[in-house]
Amino acid sequence: MTVRKKKSTIRDVAKLAGVSYQTVSRVMNESESVAEETRRRVLQAMKELDFVPSKVARMLSTHRSHTLELVVVSIRHGGRFADSIKSMALAARDAGYDLLVTMTTREELGAALENAAARLVDGVIMHAPSLDISDADLLEIAGGMPLVRRDYVPTSKLAWVGFDQIYATRMAVEYLIKLGHRQIAAIPPSLDLINGHLRHTVWRETLLHHGLQPGPVCPSQYTFTNGYDTMQQLLASGQPFSAVMVGSDTMALGAMRALRVHGLRIPADVSVISFDNAELAAYTEPPLTTIDFDFVQQDTTVVKYLIEILNNPDMKLHQRILLPDLVIRESTCEWPTDRSVDHSQAPEK
C-alpha cells in the first residue's frame, strides 16, 4: 500500500521560514514590501517543502485566476492556426497562465465574452479575421474585460497585434515589378476577410501607382482546392499575366498545380509569389517565393501584451505592428521587357 505524502501548507512554510503566513502570502504575490533576506528564507522553505500554492488559494490571494481565454471568431479554414494555438498556450504557460480556447461566431461573440467573464478568466485574446466592428461596439461587448486582438486592424485604436498587410502586399507586388513583370494577376483571400480586402486593394493601388493596369483577379479561400480552381478561372478568362500574387502558400500550391496542368512552366512562363512562409513553401516544386509571417512571434507577442495590460491596468492601449520579410526562392524570375504574354497556346497536360 502506497502512503501519500502529506501536502505542505502555507503555515508549514511560515513555520520553517520563521515568519507569519501573511508574509508567505506577500512573497507569493511578489509584494515589494518584503525584505530581500526574508523573501530568500521563504523561497528556500517553499523549495525544501516542495510547496506548490493551490490555484484556488492563489486566486483568493491575488484576485486573479491566472487563466486567459482565446476567443476565435468565425474561422472557416484553420490552416496553420492549430500551431498558433499551441504557440499561445506555451507562451501563456511560460508566464504562469493557463489558456482556454473558445470558438464562436460574430452573432454569438457577446455571449462568448460573457461566458469568459463568468469563468473568471483574467483577459481575452481574440482572433477574428473577418470581424469589422467599431472600437465603441467592441468595448461595449467586452464589458470591461481586458482584450487584445490577434489581427491586423488598422482602423482600430484598441489593443491588437498583427502583421502589416499593407506593407506585405506592397513588398510582394513591387518585387514582381522589379523583376520586370507588367501584367500581374492576383488570387487574394476572400474579400470578407480583413487581410483579403487589404491585399486586393493594395495590389491594385500599387500597380496603378507604377503606371500599370491590374491583371485578372479572383478572390478565393485558404485551401489547396480553391487555389487550383481559382487559377483555372484566371487562365480561362483569357487575360494575360506573367506573374501572380496568391493569398497563401496553401493556395499557391493548388494554383501551381493548375498552371502545370495548363502546360505552363514556373517561373519561366508564370512567376508565383505567396504569403505565410509555411514549412511546405521550401519544398514545393519549385520552392516558393513568399512573404514570411513569423506567426510564433505574433502569438508570443499577443500573449505578452495581454499580460502587460493585466499587470498595468492604466497603461495606454496601442497597436503592435509586425513587419514581415520577403523570402526569395525559385518560383519567381525576371521577365524580359520585350517578351509578350500568351497562355492560349499552352498545351494541356
Summarize the confidence of residues 98-106 as an average pLDDT: 95
Which of 271, 258, 266 lies closest to 285, judged by CA?
266
**52-61, 80-89, 194-203, 326-335: the lowest-pLDDT one:** 52-61
Question: pLDDT > 90: what percent of the chain?
Answer: 76
pLDDT exceeds 50 at position 348: no
Summarize the confidence of residues 227-254 as an average pLDDT: 97
Summarize the confidence of residues 327-343 as an average pLDDT: 90
Q: What is the pLDDT of residues 259-307, one digit of tens each?
A: 999 999 999 999 999 999 999 999 999 999 999 999 999 999 999 999 9
CA angle, 324 then 173 then 343, to 5°:
135
Summarize the confidence of residues 202-219 as an average pLDDT: 97
The pLDDT value recorded for residue 59 is 56
| Contact of 41 with 19, CB cutoff 8 Å | yes
Cα–Cα dist 259/254, whole Å? 9
Average pLDDT in the chain? 91
| Contact of 273 with 174, CB cutoff 8 Å | no
